[in-house]
Amino acid sequence: MGEKGWQGSGWTFLTNHARVLLTIARDPHIRLREVALVCTLTERTVQAIVADLEEAGYLTRTRAKDGRRNRYTVISSSPFRHPAEAGHEIAELLALLAAPPPPPGKTPPPDDKKP
């Protein structure tokens, strides 16, 4: 699949909210400008998504001591919002997808928990 393959039919498996949350979980000190680049969104859209996530209790934002940067804390015990995922916490999504992917050509370590 090419660089623009994800745009094929106009849908993806994760929402922009999930992508922003995962990006912040990977780097709690990231600037929203960088989140926008990673998620291929506008900075204004990312700001609105972060405000949504804060309001819903999925993350908190604190100001660094220098007053110039923010630090984000993801509340991983928060439940999914949709009834279809009732009983699951976003910690499960974070465990699955928040770790950076392995470098190209490198096989991830085996999962010892599989039978």
Give dist(CA 92, CA 111) in Å, integer.
Answer: 15
Yes or no: say if 50 and 62 are a contact pair by the CB < 8 Å rule. Answer: no
Model pTM score: 0.78
Spell out the alpha helix ranges (H) of 1-115: 16-26, 32-39, 43-55, 90-97
Query: pLDDT digit string (tens) for 16-75?
Result: 999 999 999 999 999 999 999 999 999 999 999 999 999 999 999 999 887 888 999 999
